[in-house]
Each structure stands twice: as structure tokens, then as C-alpha cells.
Amino acid sequence: MATILIHPDTQSAIRATAERLLQAVQGDHDAVLGLATGGTMEPVYHQLVRRADEARLSFAGVTTFNLDEYVGLAADHPQSYRSTMNRLLFDHVDIPRNQTYLPRGDAQDPSAEAIAYEAAIEAAGGIDLQLLGIGRNGHLGFNEPSSSLASRTRIKKLARSTLEANARFFGAGERMPTHAITMGIGTIMKARKLLMLAMGASKADAVAAALEGPVTAACPASILQFHPDVTVVLDQEAASCLKLRDFYEDIHPGGQEVYFAGNS
């Protein structure tokens, strides 16, 4: 079973997620981190930058791979995930920029770019810890419902609900991309550890479907049920539709990790 940590409040869920990223780097200065974007992750990166500074933690040996990028946006476009990651994290830690990977949204041949991205992950030895958010429709990265559960990095068309949800990041009159290059579900599943964070009532249905529903391409995040090392960090609202919520809270009171011999 996944480790499901239901926190008493949103701040505590954010801190716990940032702390796990910090510990991954403290435990392995050459860690390969899989990173995510979205509104959920903004406070996580703020907290991570603050904590890394306090702990004087170097990211000089770290390599990162982001989940996805919009097709058609150049790296310097303010809404590209490259710009977002620079602004939120890479500009504030000592990671060499050439160790931070995102698919190039303006690649001449986006399909070739996707294949090369998958190869780069392999060449780096695979991802140690992959950070994940979840879409309201259960997507991971930009793997929209119906994505193959074995998929690798490729181009995906964005669902209408995703376009609506992400329109807030784009200015009025600004054309929002309709496609993305995203790691596949199969790519994500190869990461040695997964760490998913969901906050707020708008994620409650997707979280319940992912953790307690059938494993199905209709809810791509449901594949997490097949991963051997996944931690899900939730706030109260995001946990509000879980049928087994009491049980998860009994195992991890207040979202704290408690280890038992034989706990699985």
C-alpha cells in the first residue's frame, strides 16, 4: 500500500513535501530528481529554497528532469515550464543549469525531442525520486485520461479541462498551447520513489479515484497503486473523499510517518 500522509493543514503538507526533497539531496548529493510544475508546487519550491539555504545544502551534484513542457513555448517564454522552474528553484540553488532538464518546447521535431528526453533520463541512471502533482481529471504530468499506462515520453494533446484549469497562468488574449511533451506513465513508474502532493477540495475526487478506484487509463494516477515505493501527501480537503481515510490516519496520525516492522 502506498504511504498516505494526511496532514492537519496545507502548510504542514507543503513543509513535509519540501523536507522529503531536501532529505533526498542530503542523503545523496548526486541525486537525480524528477520535478513537477503547477500551482501546487510553487510553495513547495519556496520552502525547499528556504530550507536548502538554512541547511547550506549544495545542489551542485544534483540532476533534475521535469515531467513536461508545453509544445511551442521557447525556454524564455514566461509561461514555459523552463522559465517557471528557473524562477522558482534553479535561480536560487547552486545547481549547474546544464544538469536541469526539461523537454524543449520549441524543438524543431518534438517527437524526436521526446525520444531524446527519455534517453537522457536513462543515461543519467534513472530518476531516484519523482515529485508529482495530480490534475483534476487524474492526470500525471500531461498524461491525460486514456494515456497508455505503459507510455514513454511523447506528445500529448491537452484535455479541455486541463486547458481550462491552466488558462489562469496565461494572460488574457495570450494563446495557450494545446499540446505538451510529457514523460509517459511508464517513464514515471520507472522512478525508484514517487512522491505525490495534492491540496484542496478540487483534487479530492481525483485523489480518491487514484488511490481507491480501479487501476485504469481513465484515471492515469491510479497506476500509482502498482508502484512499490510511493508516498502521497495530502491536506484535509484533498483527502476528503477517501473512503479509508480513518485507516490512513490511524496508521500515520497527523500525517506523521510511523514505522512498524512488517508495515507495507
Which residues have a catalytic role annotated? 68, 137, 139, 144
**Which residues inside 175-194 make contact with ligand GLP, applying CB under 6 A?**
none
Q: Which residue has the cell 490511524?
A: 250
What cell was used for 66?
521535469
Q: For ligand GLP, which is the closer residue by CB, 61 or 213?
A: 213
Question: Given the complex with ligand GLP, which of 68 and 235 has the nearer CB atom?
Answer: 68
141 sits near ligand GLP (criterion: CB under 6 A): yes
* Other beta carbons less than 10 A from residue 74's beta carbon: 11
CB atoms within 10 A of CB 229: 12
- Cα separation, 209 vs 193, in Å, equals 21
Q: How far is the CB of 253 from ligand GLP (least distance, A)?
A: 26
CA distance linking residue 17 with residue 8, whole number of Å:
14
To the nearest whole angstrom, how small is the minimum distance from the Cβ of residue 147 to ligand GLP? 12
- Does 64 contact ligand GLP by CB under 6 A? no
Q: Hey, what amino acid is at 77? A: H
Is residue 222 near ligand GLP by the rule CB under 6 A? no
Among 135, 138, 220, 255, interactor with ligand GLP by CB under 6 A: 135
The kind and range of the H/E element at 49 are helix 42-54
Closer to ligand GLP at the Cβ: 40 or 153? 40
Nearest to 39 by CA among 103, 131, 133: 133
Do residues 249 and 7 lie in contact, with contact meaning Cβ atoms separated by under 8 Å? Answer: no
Among 17, 31, 37, 84, interactor with ligand GLP by CB under 6 A? 37
The residue ranges that bind ligand GLP (CB under 6 A) are: 36-40, 67-68, 133-135, 141-142, 162, 166
